[in-house]
Amino acid sequence: MHIERSLAVKDMNANLAGSPPPQKEPFYPFSPSSDLLSLLSANAQVIVQVGPPQKTASRYKQINPHCCYIGIVSNSQQAEACQDYDRVIVGDVEQIQLKSLALDVGQVDCLVYDNILSLVENPAKVLQHQSQWLHPEGEVIAAIDNVQYWRKIVNLLQGKWGSLDEQTPTQLEQSPRQEFTLERIQYLFQSAGLQIYEVQTRGQKDEEFQKFLQLMQPMIQALGLDLNRFATQSAAQRYLIRATRSFKPLRRLSIQTIMMAPTACDRLRVLEPDRLTQTLPGTRAVSGVKSFPTVTPIPGEEKVIVWQRTIMSYEDYIPKLRQLLNQDYLIIAEIDDNPLRRREYAENRYLSYRGCHGVQTSTEALGVFLRQLNPNVAVFPNQLGYLPPPREYQTDAVTLFFGALNREKDWKPIIISLNKVLAKYRDKVRVKVIHDRLFFDSLETPHKEFEAFCSYERYQEILHGCDIGLLPLAATPVNLMKSDLKFLECAGHGVAVLASPTVYERSILEGETGLIYRTIKQFETKLNELIVNDRFRQKIAANAYEWVRNHRLLCQHYPQRRSWYLQMRDRLPELNQQLRLRVPELFVE
């Protein structure tokens, strides 16, 4: 167990998967404050959280709505606050028996303790008893305050404990009965038969902390303490612990992604998959924009480097690839767009794909093309990272949505019919357009709104308020390799779609989860039906929402990436030999 090295890597100042985007929408679950959320297995079937309710449950249920999230609380007031839990048990958290949860031994995937272990009389007994509920690979996730936190040390030296001068009598009665150092935490989990496999810290190494450390340095040296260890532990306001009942050695994997086109698809193809992949034991995933992400190596950790949308030239990238090979990296290319759109790929003899051990992509059509360049191609379709809340519809008006880049050839065939429909329902229909100014200017209606290229948060905010999504795609070579992401996004936000058969007929069930038009006449007829028939439109949207919920959430698919990387790592000698035959320049010093 490499706790010390893990502590150094997982410090507050390190990004786990790049900086999370600002929380501009109430339904976006990923936020910087979601400490425990970032640790919970994203595909868990049963989670039991012990202690007062937190926001973790509601956010987690957006990522994995299929999980049964159970709370154990000590009083009815706390139970009333557990609105997002599937089941709540009220009682003495130290005495609750498994039968009260209506579960069998081995059914619990994860136990969650958010600063509750310091408040119970016998935390070792609680852990020993409740960890028996877990299945053999089950996990315990715990947040525990650190008694060695530097501000507590300062207060103690000043004759205070915590912030006693600010506490009320009631708060004093509720002060923790247990205090924990890292060593005591390790002993606590070990005595419960649990293996700690990761420790993260939360704290802030600001200027005040640096002054404290400087003042303490003579005493640290006099006591023979390790300065780096003391700095790590005293900076930690609290520890986040991940432990498991299994004592099998972990296979540790580090996934490092270089994003060369972050604004195009960073969240869907890198950041959200990274966030979920990190919940797999022994797995780290970090990313950098146009540069190698900085990570501290862990002994025995296997390494993967992913080049996202990188156009590799022989002159610039042969030395880089050669260095990665010498450092025992598995080298993967990530592409979710047709490479034929950029002539630079062909000019460099597709080194971006031939020069890597393998390629990951988003559609099988892309996979067919890429396998001509590299036989090791994995298709990971785009998925929604979380499920937005169900829609509340207004029926006084209908809002059409169109948002796309470079789609003039796709929408031109339908624009005359679209304007005909808009004229027919002049006062009932509004149109919201993102980015495509020419499409906006071609709309013959005063009831239209335009938004220039915007953030993904703003894009989803606009989409969430629309009723019908228009998804035209002509059957061009570039379009045929596109994914069905636009349909997923519309479905997740309760928007009924009218789409072309290109791409979307593989996903949409006609008349149930959306409508497909094959002629201009069908486009006009089906758009009329969606506008006038509120019940039909909302039923289609609800069906599509359920289809995405049941089949196309990232929580149902994310382990596949790690599994493929490990399979490729196992074949690394063979893959190196393939690479030698494809690009011999990589092996010439």
- The 10s digit of each residue's pLDDT in 436-478 is 999 999 999 999 999 998 888 899 999 999 999 999 999 998 8
Q: Is 153 exposed, middle or buried (0-12, 13-18, 19+ CB in 10 A)?
A: middle
* pLDDT tens track for 521-541: 999 999 999 999 999 999 999
Instruction: Specify the pLDDT at position 204.
Output: 84
Instruction: Specify the pLDDT at position 20.
Output: 36
The whole-model pTM stands at 0.89
Percent over 90 (pLDDT), the chain: 74
pLDDT at 556 over 90: yes
Instruction: Specify the pLDDT at position 6.
Output: 34
Q: Which of 32-36, 110-114, 118-122 has the highest mean pLDDT?
A: 110-114
pLDDT at 3 over 50: no
CA distance linking residue 310 with residue 259, whole number of Å: 8
For residues 242-255, give the mean pLDDT: 92
Query: Do 304 and 329 meet the contact criterion of CB atoms below 8 Å apart?
Result: yes
**Helix (H) or strand (E) segment spanning residue 195:** strand 195-202
pLDDT level of residue 504 (50, 70, 90 thresholds): very high
Query: Do 67 and 85 meet the contact criterion of CB atoms below 8 Å apart?
Result: no
Nearest residue to 230 (alpha-carbon basis) of 222, 241, 242, 220: 220
- Single-letter code of the amino acid located at 552: R
Q: Is 179 exposed, middle or buried (0-12, 13-18, 19+ CB in 10 A)?
A: middle
* pLDDT tens track for 146-179: 999 999 999 888 888 755 444 555 444 555 568 9
Q: Is 129 exposed, middle or buried (0-12, 13-18, 19+ CB in 10 A)?
A: middle
∠ CA 354-360-364 to the nearest 5 degrees? Answer: 105
**Helix (H) or strand (E) segment spanning residue 276:** helix 272-277
For residues 278-294, give the mean pLDDT: 92
SS3 223: coil
Tokens representing residue 464 in the block: 């969430």
* pLDDT tens track for 102-115: 999 999 999 999 98
Nearest residue to 332 (alpha-carbon basis) of 566, 554, 495, 131: 566
Instruction: Specify the pLDDT at position 7.
Output: 33
Task: Sort strands 515-516 and 358-361 into parallel, antiparallel or unpaired.
Answer: unpaired
Instruction: Specify the pLDDT at position 23.
Output: 38
Give, rounded to a whole angstrom, the gap between the first and last alpha carbons of the chain: 38
Q: Which domains does the chain have, with CATH numbers?
A: 3-244 (3.40.50.150), 253-385+558-587 (3.40.50), 398-551 (3.40.50.2000)
